[in-house]
Amino acid sequence: MSTTPTKLADADIAAKLAHHPQWTRENHTITRTLVFDNFIKAFGFMTEVALLAQEMNHHPDWQNVYNKV
């Protein structure tokens, strides 16, 4: 699965975020904090996303602290 992402206009971003209140926009990024049961589950999630992100040539700026991503 290889998809080239396209940049959305500000209005399109705002419209999409209106349907996803857990996500917020900060300057040129969208953010969300995910909380897992423990570190292993949080890191496992990041590993799965990393494989998909690499296929899409998308490299998120993210962090993991114990059970939070």
Residue 20: name the closest of 6, 10, 30 by CA: 30
Q: Is 63 exposed, middle or buried (0-12, 13-18, 19+ CB in 10 A)?
A: exposed
> Considering the domain boundaries, does residue 23 fall inside one?
yes
> Considering the domain boundaries, does residue 5 fall inside one?
no
Average pLDDT value for the chain: 92
> Considering the domain boundaries, does residue 50 fall inside one?
yes
Instruction: Count structural domains, the chain.
Output: 1
Domain range for residue 44? 10-55
> Considering the domain boundaries, does residue 3 fall inside one?
no
Q: What is the pLDDT of residues 19-31, one digit of tens each?
A: 999 999 988 889 9
> Considering the domain boundaries, does residue 36 fall inside one?
yes
Q: Looking at residue 7, what is its pLDDT?
A: 86
> Considering the domain boundaries, does residue 38 fall inside one?
yes
Distance CA 27, CA 1 (A): 29
